Structures are given as structure tokens and as C-alpha cells.
Amino acid sequence: MGKEPAEQSLHSGHRDRMRAKFLQQGLEGFQEHEMLELTLFYALPRVNTNEVAHRLLQRFGSLADVLNADYHALRDVKGMGESSAMLLTLIAQLSRQYRLSARKDLTLNTFDATCAYFKDIYLGEPEEQLRLACLDDRLRLMSCGVVSEGAPSSVPVHMRRLVEYALQQKSELVVLAHNHPNGTAMPSPEDIAATQKIFNVLKSVGIRLVDHIIVAGEQAVSLKEYGAFSLLD
């Protein structure tokens, strides 16, 4: 049986008040479960999204963890479905693309700027990826693409694909980056050895590796700042 009219009216009134509050002040003053509750209005029109929001936070831990969660894991939460899981997954991806789009005409001429860019790139990425950012002669970002990807424990380095990407972009200056989804941003001996190999391969075709950034969550390390490039230049 459906809900009684009085219950439906109360439910609708609560949603109207939540929407009005958002339109008046944005998300300021909203708790994490309320942000999720409001968002889920648009995928779960006849479900108590407050309860679903609490289940999501109980399962994953925080708003960031919910938005970083896998689509299938989101669907497994009681009260969630295909549309609601897709909505949260889409919002997370749109947020990432918004941050990247807002960084147009970006110049990667400092360690801080370069690390900040790649932290945005890898935010919420569950798989380990090797990326190559191509720069012009003034260190302005021209493009950034995935040149290798794999399991979180290790990324195979496909030298030919890496070199071809840089040559296609007609870039003589590049920045390498990869993420450690479940580890630390500190470089391992294997990271440093791989950097040296890549540096030499790129140098042989007239391309200079400017830096190599390792990202783990909110942490990012520049191998050049770390000192790993002292033996390369």
C-alpha cells in the first residue's frame, strides 16, 4: 500500500524546505548527510533519502568517500538503485572535470602548481595510472593523457606509447605523473629507476622530462624537488 496523504504531504514539505534552504544559502550549513539527502531527491522521488544518505555514510565513511565509491558498491547500499548510483558517480566525475576545465591556460612552472594540478587529476581515481602532461616552451599545459594503466600495485610502462603521445603533441617538455591509490606519495627505488629509464628514452628523441609527480590522496611529491633528478640533469 502507498503512503497516507498526510505522510506524503509531510514528505513533500520537507523536500520543499530543503530545496528552499539550498537556493537561499547554497550548501553552507548543510551537514554531509543532508547534502546527500538533497542530491538523492532527484533520483529517488518516493524514497526517504535521509535514511539512504545515512546508510551511505555508514558504509563509506564520509561525503568524499561516498563520491569516490565504485558505482557497483553504491548500488549495493539498501535503498540505492541504478539511477541513484549513476547520479552520484556522475557528480563525482563532473566535479573532477570542472576543476580541470577551470584550470585552462595553466602554467606548470612551480612545484606547487604542478602538484596541485595532478592532485585534481587523480582525485577519486581507484586505479593506478601513468599520465604525461605536455608543455609548451613557456611551461604552459598543452595536453595531458593516460599513457599506461593497471592494477593499483603496479603500472607497466609502455615506452612506445609514452613517446608517441609526446611526439603527437609536438612537445619538447613533459611532466610525468602517476598515482598510488592505496599507498604513500613517497617515491620508491622502483619509481626512481623507472624515472631514470623514461628520462633517457625521452632524451634520445629530443624531449626533456621536466618532473615526475607521485600522488596519493591529498599528498603529492615532486621527484625533482625530492632530489631524484640530481643524477639525471
Calpha distance 220→161 (Å, rounded): 25
CATH number of 5-99: 1.10.150.20
pLDDT value, residue 231:
64
pLDDT of residue 159: 85
The single-letter code of the amino acid at 27 is: L
Biggest CA–CA distance in the chain, Å, is 75
* Beta-sheet strands, E only, within 72-150: 128-135, 141-150
* DSSP helix, strand, coil percent of the chain (3-state; round to 5): 50, 15, 35
> From first to last of its 233 residues, what are the pLDDT tens digits of the chain?
445 444 455 567 889 999 999 999 999 889 999 999 999 999 999 899 999 999 999 999 999 889 989 899 999 999 999 999 999 999 988 887 787 676 667 899 999 999 999 998 888 788 889 999 999 999 999 989 899 886 444 556 688 888 999 999 999 999 999 999 888 899 888 888 889 889 999 999 999 999 999 999 889 999 998 888 876 65
151 CB burial (10 A radius; 0-12, 13-18, 19+)? exposed
What CATH number belongs to 106-226? 3.40.140.10
CA angle centred on 174, ends 173 and 176, rounded to 5°: 160
Residues of the chain with CATH 1.10.150.20: 5-99
- The pTM score is 0.67
Q: Identify the pLDDT of residue 104.
A: 63
**Domain ranges in the chain with CATH number 3.40.140.10:** 106-226
For strand 208-216 and strand 173-179, is the pairing parallel, antiparallel, or unpaired? parallel
